[in-house]
Amino acid sequence: MAQYNITVDDDVLKGLFSGDKGMALLLEQVLNQVLHAQASEQLQAEPYERSEERQGYRNGTRPHPLTTRVGTMTLRVPRLRNGNFSTELFARYQRSEQALLLALVEMVIQGVSTRKITAITEELCGAEFSKSTVSDLCKRLDPIVQAWNGRNLKDRRYPFVLVDAIVLKIREDERVRSRAAMIATGVNDEGYREILGIMLGDSESEASWSEFFTWLKRRDLRGVDIVVSDSHGGLVKALQGQFQGATWQRCQTHFMRNFLDATPKHLHDELYGKVRAILDAPDVETARLLLNQVVAEYGEKAAKAIWILENGFDDITAVLSLPERYRKRLRTTNGMERLNEEIRRRDRVIRIYPNRDSVVRVCRRAKIPGFIASVMSTEFPAEPGRFIRRGGHDSLVRR
């Protein structure tokens, strides 16, 4: 290991103890002396030294800015006439610099504003990172995100699929436009939940949802037996056209809101309990019996609400044909709503996205723990090794 004689100026030492960027100045002075010594070692001669062992000549220096966790330094890198000067110094410190850059990207994805990032880096490193610099750093994630979002799904069957959308604002053609981020989550045949894909649509129209489902099927999404969603008209029509033979489970939470909106206020508590009993019935036959009782008792008192209940009965009770252990997670889209809260938390900071890629980037990070994780897996409650037969195929759901 090479040893170097290092000298430190008094002013640098005073700055070190005063805490005014002293560490960066000290490190800059030390590293510059190390570079000078390495150049002498490589040339086998000091500057202006006459020596028969000399291997070349100096040609001045070039500045090399380096941002580290202790501050920004300007190193004077020796230049040789033969252009062969090499050092391991930058490779060693590059790891620290890369860690800093990754931390900046993580802050953006976690929902920290670029204004705050500028203040943080200025305080810690004595240097500012502009919005464009941070944006360029985040773009490095795009190939990873695109590869994940377009991955082939042929290795698994997904008997259960949950879909939802969230509206975000994007700057396009120098105008701010509202776009729907459509998201699908699937439960595979081993009982694990994972995000199948994210796509931006112009709206939540039938055409947009049909394009989204067609895209998923092109990526070999198969084995779909139950689809869970709210009752958005365009979404339901697209499901009927794209997943014929699959059962639609209407989100019970969304249904209950619609039902209570049409219920006279003085009957809210009564009807809520009775409809809740229908949804929690042990089987479809019991649920229909309870429905008939509610219709007979409240058909005239709350005609509009009862009409909504009768027309939506088959859709809100689709999960009752499944074993009870599967129903809790499949009767609503609450699991996806919780994930959407993570997007909203970041959206409150970003407000307007610069482009579509940035939306998918943020949505993916919000949906999936881990910086470069590729799959979010959450075990689904069921018994290992137990099969249920629906729609002519076996679906294994694992506890």
Residue scoring higher pLDDT (273 or 56): 273
Give the residue among 325, 324, 327 at the shortest CA–CA distance from 316.
Answer: 327
Domain ranges of the chain: 10-129, 159-396
Distance CA 170, CA 175 (A): 8
* 59 vs 132, residue with greater confidence: 59
Percentage of residues in the chain with pLDDT exceeding 90?
35
Measured in residues, the chain has a length of: 399
CB 242 within 8 A of CB 213: yes
More confident residue, 399 or 132: 132
Q: What is the CA radius of gyration of the chain?
A: 31
Identify the pLDDT of residue 357. 82
Name which of 52-61, 125-134, 142-151, 349-358 the model is least confident about. Answer: 125-134
Question: Are residues 245 and 222 in contact, defined by beta-carbon separation less than 8 angstroms?
Answer: no
Q: Sorting pLDDT into bands at 50, 70 and 90, what band is 97?
A: low
Query: pLDDT digit string (tens) for 255-309?
Result: 999 999 999 999 999 999 999 999 999 999 999 999 999 999 999 999 999 999 9
Q: Which region among 110-124, 137-151, 260-274, 311-325 has the lowest average model confidence (pLDDT)?
A: 110-124
**pLDDT surpasses 50 at 373:** no
Grade residue 378 by pLDDT with cuts at 50, 70 and 90: very low
Alpha carbon of 302 to those of 41, 252, 256: distances in Å? 93, 19, 15
Q: Please state the separation of Cα 98 from the chain's center in Å.
A: 21
Q: What is the pLDDT of residue 369?
A: 42
Write down the residue that tokens 């030294």 correspond to. Answer: 49
Predicted confidence band of residue 51 (pLDDT cuts 50, 70, 90)? confident
